[in-house]
Chain A
Amino acid sequence: MSVSQASAVIDFKAVADRLLPAGSSYDSCLACGLCSSGCPASGLEGLDPRRFIRMAILGLDAELTSTPWIWTCTQCKRCAQVCPMNIDVSVLVGHARSMWPEEKKPAGIVRSCKAQMLSDSTSAMGVSPEDFVDIVAETAEELRHDDERFAKIEVPIDKQGAFFFVNQNSREPAAEPEEMRPLWKLLDYVGADWTYGSSGWAAENFCMFSGDDAAWKAMVEKRVDAVNALGCKVWINTECGHSFYTLWKGVERFGLKPNFDYASLVTYYAQWIREGKLPVNADWNTKGIKFTLQDPCQLVRKSIGDAAADDLRFVAKTLVGEENFVDMQPCRSANYCCGGGGGFLQAGMKELRHAYGKRKFDQIEATEATYVLTPCHNCHSQMEDLAHHYGGDYRVVHFWTLICLALGILGADERKYLGPDLQDVGLPQ
């Protein structure tokens, strides 16, 4: 992969001067290497964040313009977090991505973005609004049929004036609709006034990763319009890391006008537990199964910050028991990106992605936990893949799975991500 000769060479220093705040310009870089030491993409394709900056300063623009490394940097912003000068390499990487000729960009990311542009769903997996409505209806019908406790459950779509607008990652409707059921159950359990939208319901946003600003904007605009149109008060982002970031960042970047607040589902899990609406505890964990937690950088470091990390821990510890919870290190705002983000999973650069993920794998192994909890689909897939690749024997689970398990409402066919040790625990009577 390389940029064609014809395409323009980027003047990275000029771009840095334009895009980075004065105190955090490349000019203030001390060349200390903290960023590189803490970046999982270091060493891939001979580059790392410090080198990226040094090469920009040395004017090696042709090299930087064409290096595939920019597709291995997940734009996780850990470099800025550890840098005493707060220098953010991801901004330049984003710019470089945007300058790559479309046909040279990793096809998987471009394809996903294109798919999102096709219908009002904004779904990267090509699920149309009609399909979505049908799949949800069918799945809800099955649920009502299978589980008498939820015989009357409603899964509203396009409910005008609902308090919450909840988005949905396409993976479930497209590939594993039964995985939506735990979420609906718990929303029902707390009595939330919520709705999906037939338009703008999808969570993922690969247009941001492909560096296509116009498409990113179009995507976020459609979603904002959809929520505005339904008059919802709060947009709740499901267990998906980057979709939260792309929305608020998109709103800020493109000056959009949402008439609603945005929140992460995690924040509400914590709130509902605190309020007693989700009366979960760890009584089910009689075997003392150990859990760790992956803080999605898109949600924690890049968006809400440690407040989200606190909520995640509160929820996780309540669910599995304080003594069964082991943090991976580093964590919270300092967590390493797993290597699934930034479109890496879709980019078709498997070896590099595995190399990137080695740190994550070591982190997980060090905890000796059996399960990793994470509220992010990309994190989820990447960590599972790392387990296969490096021979780890942990599993990755969504929060909704465990919440329903703890509530005793997790059906037998909603346990895809649980191991044999948990197939029978807390089954509904």
Chain B
Amino acid sequence: MNFDADVLVIGGGVTGCGILRDLALRGIRGILIDRGDLNSGASGGNHGLLHSGGRYASSDTETAAECRIEGEILKRTAPQAIDACGGLFVAVEGDDEGFIARFAARCAAAGIDCAPLAVDEVRRSEPAISERAIAAYAVPDATVDPFRLTIEQVADARRLADSLFLPHTEVTGFDIDGGRIRAARCRDTRSGEARIIRARQYVNAAGAWSMAVARLAGCDDVRVLWSKGTLVIANTRLTRRVVNRLRTPGDGDILVPGGTVSLLGTTSDTVADLDVIRPTPEEVDRNIEEGSVLIPALAHTRFIRAFAGVRPLLLPTGGDGDGRKASRGFTLFDHVAQGLGNFATIAGGKLTTFRLMAERTGDLVAARLGNREPCRTATEPLPALERSSWTEPGHSARTWFAAKNPADSILCECEMVPKSTVDAVLEMAPGAEPQMPLRAIGVRSRIGKGTCQGSFCAIRVTSHLYDRGTYGGREGLGLMRDFLAERYKGTRPVLWGPQMPQAELAETLHCGLLGLDLIDARGQDGEPR
């Protein structure tokens, strides 16, 4: 199947989705593609911290200020995706006194509200913080649900300009002629089919992969450093606010509450290969060892999952080495110097600053298309969709419980996601399609996100999908297997304590009862190895 649009945006992360909506608000119809699904890159593997800027205040005033401004805009325009819980910077005995002493002034320089707090007062309101705390500041950090952000932006772009999102569509090359890209050659990564997408403008928002995508268009001016970060999810919300360690950024020094859980991270390691990004036990241990200095309960909390993402950090020409020291800023490449007039790459940046990145990109693309509409994302609220609150922990449960319809069976017991939610996702979520993979349903709901990490709900949802006729053959089993294998990637490094019996039960069920180890990824009887 082939497609045409004004603009092709490559990369369904928060940046690509932001661009799609930015353009739609200017009346420009786009097609957004991702080789996986929405948020299959860094946007689905990050800390969910809407930075106040405090984190960068000490090293990069400009980025810090940018974070502050963008954070304020998002709190206004997309409050549904944000929990303005506030944040703390806390130092413990032994932390660098000089760093502590300079912190307030550095924040002030970036315009960040930063209030010193008495340590005992902080410990009273956040009892999880170590009694070895010696200094604390309050900053306006917040948390953000990146899934909700991307889903709602895609939905809004569809509403505004009939823009389209195509999952599992990977760009594999470009037809270039006369200084312009004429078509993007794509591949459906599920079926293997080829697709041609023609557009007038092409935007590369492929995050960590943007260098590779730029090269497909013959551009070698994009250089990003790959910095892998690993995070762990605790089964409990340990603090009300975000807690940052007040020191030069290091491993495991931020704890971000998210609904009913807490996210601890992150590590930062430069990697050379993007295709084997999985969290390791060693990284998890590093996070916990460092994290428990600040929050001692982390040493014995149940962790349900770990995950890793790759930060696309822009390398200044000639720079190398440490990911944490590389710039958190972003760059828009117009590729004119590379001889292309309708191609742009947006790279670097943060989740917090995605809107600004989208604005800059939108300005360039709109101008190139002769569209004079200004950017409106800084003021136009992102419509909140009831159906994207499915990604919010507890939302499904609350709605289901209030509805009192026992015939609407719960399919995911951990997160209490009922049949009706799954049906609604299948029918109307952005990127919904016939034979929707379990993984895609998981991205758009809380399926598989609870303590059992999909071990039971995968079975129940799959049966339901067969009953509905969504799956009609062995591929359904393949998709269940794929979903479970993906969940496993995240549970594997946290398998100790109560998570181990859970994993043992999962394996005995998935192999012993379902026989999933006897089939391959397409659901066919496996070739013995």
Q: Which residues of A contact B (CB under 8 A)?
A: 13, 27-33, 43, 46, 50-51, 54-55, 57-60, 63, 84-85
Give bound CA distance, A55 to B393, whole Å: 11
- Indicate which residue in A31, A32, A63, A84 contacts B401 across the interface (CB closer than 8 Å): A63
Query: In the bound complex, do residue B398 and residue A63 qualify as a contact, i.e. CB atoms below 8 Å apart?
Result: yes
- Indicate which residue in B237, B397, B398, B498 contacts A54 across the interface (CB closer than 8 Å): B397
- Indicate which residue in B398, B400, B404, B413 contacts A31 across the interface (CB closer than 8 Å): B413
Q: Chain B CB within 10 Å — which of A27, A31, A85 has the most?
A: A31
Residue of A nearest to B237 (CB): A59
Q: What string of 1s and 0s marks CB contacts (under 8 Å) between B26-64 and chain A?
A: 000000000000000000000000000000000000000
Q: Which of B97-105, B163-171, B448-456 lies on the face that meets chain A?
A: B448-456
Query: In the bound complex, do residue B452 and residue A57 qualify as a contact, i.e. CB atoms below 8 Å apart?
Result: no
Q: Which B residues from 381 to 415 make CB contacts under 8 A with A?
A: 393-394, 397-398, 400-401, 404, 406, 410, 413-415
Query: In the bound complex, do residue B416 and residue A55 qualify as a contact, i.e. CB atoms below 8 Å apart?
Result: yes
Q: Chain B CB within 10 Å — which of A27, A33, A51, A55 has the most?
A: A27
Query: In the bound complex, do residue A60 and residue B398 qualify as a contact, i.e. CB atoms below 8 Å apart?
Result: yes
Is the CB of B327 closer than 8 A to any CB of chain A?
no
Q: A43-B406, A50-B413, A60-B397 are in contact. Are A30 and B501 (CB under 8 A)?
A: yes
Query: In the bound complex, do residue A51 and residue B260 qualify as a contact, i.e. CB atoms below 8 Å apart?
Result: no
Residues in chain A near residue B302, CB distance under 8 A: 27-28
Is the CB of B236 closer than 8 A to any CB of chain A?
yes
Query: In the bound complex, do residue A58 and residue B415 qualify as a contact, i.e. CB atoms below 8 Å apart?
Result: yes
Q: A31-B414, A43-B406 are in contact. Are A58 and B502 (CB under 8 A)?
A: no
Q: Which residues of B contact A (CB under 8 A)?
A: 235-237, 259-260, 302, 393-394, 397-398, 400-401, 404, 406, 410, 413-416, 450-452, 456, 498, 501-502, 505
Query: In the bound complex, do residue B498 and residue A27 qualify as a contact, i.e. CB atoms below 8 Å apart?
Result: yes
**What's the least CB distance linking B359 to chain A, in Å?**
36
Query: In the bound complex, do residue B450 and residue A31 qualify as a contact, i.e. CB atoms below 8 Å apart?
Result: yes
Q: A27-B235, A57-B260, A57-B451 are in contact. Are A33 and B413 (CB under 8 A)?
A: yes
Residues in chain B near residue A59, CB distance under 8 A: 237, 259-260, 394
Residues in chain B near residue A58, CB distance under 8 A: 260, 393-394, 397, 415-416
Residues in chain A near residue B410, CB distance under 8 A: 51
Give bound CA distance, A43 to B407, whole Å: 11
5 A–B contacts, CB within 8 A, in A order: A30-B502, A43-B406, A50-B413, A57-B260, A85-B501
Residue of A nearest to B502 (CB): A30
Query: In the bound complex, do residue B456 and residue A55 qualify as a contact, i.e. CB atoms below 8 Å apart?
Result: no
Residues in chain B near residue A13, CB distance under 8 A: 236
Query: In the bound complex, do residue B456 and residue A31 qualify as a contact, i.e. CB atoms below 8 Å apart?
Result: yes
Q: When A and B form their complex, which 7 residue pairs have the shortest distance between CB atoms, in order from nearest?
A: A28-B498, A58-B394, A31-B452, A27-B302, A31-B414, A59-B260, A31-B413
**What's the least CB distance linking A109 to chain B, in Å?**
24
Query: In the bound complex, do residue B505 and residue A32 qualify as a contact, i.e. CB atoms below 8 Å apart?
Result: yes
Query: In the bound complex, do residue B406 and residue A46 qualify as a contact, i.e. CB atoms below 8 Å apart?
Result: yes
Give bound CA distance, A55 to B402, whole Å: 13
Give bound CA distance, A344 to B189, whole Å: 58
Q: A27-B236, A30-B502, A30-B505 are in contact. Are A54 and B456 (CB under 8 A)?
A: no
Residues in chain A near residue B236, CB distance under 8 A: 13, 27
Residues in chain A near residue B406, CB distance under 8 A: 43, 46
Residues in chain B near residue A32, CB distance under 8 A: 456, 505
Residues in chain B near residue A57, CB distance under 8 A: 235, 260, 414, 450-451
Query: In the bound complex, do residue A54 and residue B401 qualify as a contact, i.e. CB atoms below 8 Å apart?
Result: no
Residues in chain A near residue B393, CB distance under 8 A: 58
Query: In the bound complex, do residue A31 and residue B397 qualify as a contact, i.e. CB atoms below 8 Å apart?
Result: no
Other A-B pairs beyond A57-B450, A58-B416, 5, CB < 8 Å: A28-B498, A32-B456, A55-B416, A57-B235, A60-B401
* Count of chain A to chain B residue pairs whose CB atoms are closer than 8 Å in the complex: 66
Residue of A nearest to B402 (CB): A63
- Indicate which residue in A29, A43, A46, A55 contacts B451 across the interface (CB closer than 8 Å): A29
Residue of A nearest to B397 (CB): A58
Residues in chain A near residue B237, CB distance under 8 A: 59
Give bound CA distance, A60 to B395, whole Å: 10
Give bound CA distance, A28 to B498, whole Å: 5
Q: Chain B CB within 10 Å — which of A59, A84, A85 has the most?
A: A59
Give bound CA distance, A187 to B133, whole Å: 69
Residues in chain A near residue B452, CB distance under 8 A: 30-31
Residues in chain A near residue B260, CB distance under 8 A: 57-59
Q: A27-B498, A43-B406, A63-B401 are in contact. Are A54 and B450 (CB under 8 A)?
A: yes
Give bound CA distance, A28 to B415, whole Å: 15
Residue of B nearest to A17 (CB): B236
Residues in chain B near residue A63, CB distance under 8 A: 398, 401
Give bound CA distance, A27 to B259, whole Å: 16
Query: In the bound complex, do residue A54 and residue B414 qualify as a contact, i.e. CB atoms below 8 Å apart?
Result: yes
Give bound CA distance, A55 to B410, whole Å: 13
Give bound CA distance, A179 to B414, whole Å: 50
Give bound CA distance, A29 to B498, whole Å: 8
Q: Chain A CB within 10 Å — which of B236, B259, B400, B404 has the most?
A: B236
Give bound CA distance, A54 to B404, whole Å: 17
Query: In the bound complex, do residue A31 and residue B394 qualify as a contact, i.e. CB atoms below 8 Å apart?
Result: no
Give bound CA distance, A33 to B404, whole Å: 20
**What's the least CB distance linking B463 to chain A, in Å?**
15
Give bound CA distance, A57 to B400, whole Å: 16
Give bound CA distance, A54 to B416, whole Å: 8
**What's the least CB distance linking A14 to chain B, in Å?**
10
Residues in chain B near residue A27, CB distance under 8 A: 235-236, 302, 498
Give bound CA distance, A58 to B237, whole Å: 10
Give bound CA distance, A51 to B404, whole Å: 14
Residue of B nearest to A84 (CB): B501
Give bound CA distance, A33 to B237, whole Å: 24
Residues in chain A near residue B505, CB distance under 8 A: 30, 32
Query: In the bound complex, do residue A54 and residue B501 qualify as a contact, i.e. CB atoms below 8 Å apart?
Result: no
Give bound CA distance, A50 to B393, whole Å: 17
Residue of B nearest to A36 (CB): B413
Give bound CA distance, A28 to B301, whole Å: 11
Query: In the bound complex, do residue B414 and residue A55 qualify as a contact, i.e. CB atoms below 8 Å apart?
Result: no
Query: In the bound complex, do residue B235 and residue A54 qualify as a contact, i.e. CB atoms below 8 Å apart?
Result: no
Give bound CA distance, A417 to B243, whole Å: 68
Residues in chain B near residue A33, CB distance under 8 A: 413, 456
Residues in chain A near residue B404, CB distance under 8 A: 46
Query: In the bound complex, do residue B502 and residue A54 qualify as a contact, i.e. CB atoms below 8 Å apart?
Result: no
Residue of B nearest to A62 (CB): B398
Residue of B nearest to A44 (CB): B406
Give bound CA distance, A54 to B393, whole Å: 12
Residues in chain A near residue B259, CB distance under 8 A: 59
**What's the least CB distance linking B82 to chain A, in Å?**
18
Residues in chain A near residue B498, CB distance under 8 A: 27-28, 85
Query: In the bound complex, do residue B451 and residue A31 qualify as a contact, i.e. CB atoms below 8 Å apart?
Result: yes
Give bound CA distance, A57 to B449, whole Å: 13
Residues in chain A near residue B397, CB distance under 8 A: 54-55, 58, 60
Query: In the bound complex, do residue A60 and residue B451 qualify as a contact, i.e. CB atoms below 8 Å apart?
Result: no
Give bound CA distance, A46 to B418, whole Å: 12
**What's the least CB distance linking B507 to chain A, in Å?**
13
Residues in chain B near residue A54, CB distance under 8 A: 397, 413-416, 450
**What's the least CB distance linking A299 to chain B, in Å?**
32
Query: In the bound complex, do residue B413 and residue A51 qualify as a contact, i.e. CB atoms below 8 Å apart?
Result: yes
Give bound CA distance, A31 to B404, whole Å: 21
Residues in chain B near residue A30, CB distance under 8 A: 451-452, 501-502, 505
Query: In the bound complex, do residue A51 and residue B416 qualify as a contact, i.e. CB atoms below 8 Å apart?
Result: yes
Q: A30-B501, A30-B502 are in contact. Are A60 and B456 (CB under 8 A)?
A: no
**What's the least CB distance linking A383 to chain B, in Å?**
26
**What's the least CB distance linking A53 to chain B, in Å?**
10
Residues in chain B near residue A29, CB distance under 8 A: 451
Residue of B nearest to A56 (CB): B260
Give bound CA distance, A59 to B401, whole Å: 13
**What's the least CB distance linking B488 to chain A, in Å?**
16
**What's the least CB distance linking B497 to chain A, in Å?**
8
Give bound CA distance, A400 to B406, whole Å: 44
Residue of A nearest to B304 (CB): A27
**What's the least CB distance linking A44 to chain B, in Å?**
10
**What's the least CB distance linking A60 to chain B, in Å?**
6
**What's the least CB distance linking B67 to chain A, in Å?**
29
